Amino acid sequence: MILCLIKLILKSHYFNESLSCTGRLLGAGLMIGLSGSIPYLIKSNYINTTMRLDEITRTTRIPKGNWKEPKGQRLGSGAQGRAITHPKQANVAIKIANVYDVDHDPYVEFVKLALENQDNPFFPRIYKAKLVRMGDSIYQLVLNMERLHNISNPNIADAVVENFKRLGFPQDVADTTTADITKDVVKIRKWLEQRTNRQQLAKTTPNPNFREALTLLEPFLEKFKNDMHAQNWMARLTPSGPQLVIIDPLEF
């Protein structure tokens, strides 16, 4: 029994890497990680260490100019930051986000929310996080996170669409989530911009974890602008199929 459990854990932990190595899944990950030599201010409960959420905005404790970005392959980029591969861990990636107002930054708020709810599968697994002072009023939020996969990858696209439908999204919205055309990519964001749509989805979805995720996000979607277009959703590979993950729901 114990041996079978160990094998199951190992299989689950290396699932992403094994699929990538065999060429069955080529999705680029967007999530992030750092080398162990860097002193982190925040550690996640996900790896059973002490987590101090308050320290993410305690700017007096942030070092200045003593951090250099590790070398890695570029996985993706956006308006606020970029993602690169971890130099040593294939299933971990490094995300560096530019922060100009540590007390009112949407992404900082989302990271804190995700850290508080690591047991919800719709939020990314964050292992470590640190704010680095780059200038007088410029910071970088550096995250060590799980490496995820693009939902538009043709190997999982059909399963992804079905997942959106099972969560309660309308057929026409779910069908556009894996498209490459810009007007289709933003369709889910426009649909979620309507508060009545979000509330109805949270009320009727059969998935309790998704209901919880929407409920937790609602105050932030009211405070900031919604940015849940299709490219801000990614997939975590599991033995039972792709798990949808919201990676950046708030507009920068």
pTM over 0.85: no
Average of per-residue pLDDT values in the chain:
76
132 or 195: which leads in pLDDT: 195
Condensed to tens digits (0 to 9), the pLDDT of residues 188-245 reads 999 999 999 999 999 999 999 999 999 999 999 999 999 999 999 999 999 999 999 9
Query: At the fourth CATH level, which superfamily is domain 42-146?
Result: Phosphorylase Kinase; domain 1 (3.30.200.20)
Angstrom distance (rounded) from CA 202 to CA 209:
10
pLDDT at residue 57, as a whole number:
40
125 and 48 in contact (C-beta within 8 Å)? no
Residue 1 has pLDDT above 60, yes or no: no
pLDDT at residue 193, as a whole number:
95
| Confidence band of 76 (pLDDT split at 50, 70, 90) | confident
Residues of the chain with CATH 3.30.200.20: 42-146
The angle subtended at Cα 223 by Cα 220 and Cα 229, nearest 5°, is 60
| Confidence band of 77 (pLDDT split at 50, 70, 90) | confident
pLDDT at residue 123, as a whole number:
98
Tokens describing residue 65: 């100019």
Residue 80 has pLDDT above 80, yes or no: no
Residue 51 has pLDDT above 60, yes or no: no
57-74 mean pLDDT: 60
Give per-residue burial for 204-242: e unless 16+ CB within 10 Å, then b: ebebebbbbbbebbeeebeebebbbbbbbbbbbbeeeeb
Condensed to tens digits (0 to 9), the pLDDT of residues 9-41 reads 333 333 333 333 322 222 333 333 222 222 233
What three-state secondary structure class fits 201?
helix
pLDDT at residue 184, as a whole number:
83
Condensed to tens digits (0 to 9), the pLDDT of residues 151-193 reads 999 999 999 999 999 999 999 999 999 987 666 889 999 999 9
| Confidence band of 81 (pLDDT split at 50, 70, 90) | confident
122 or 90: which leads in pLDDT: 122
| Confidence band of 83 (pLDDT split at 50, 70, 90) | confident
| Confidence band of 7 (pLDDT split at 50, 70, 90) | very low
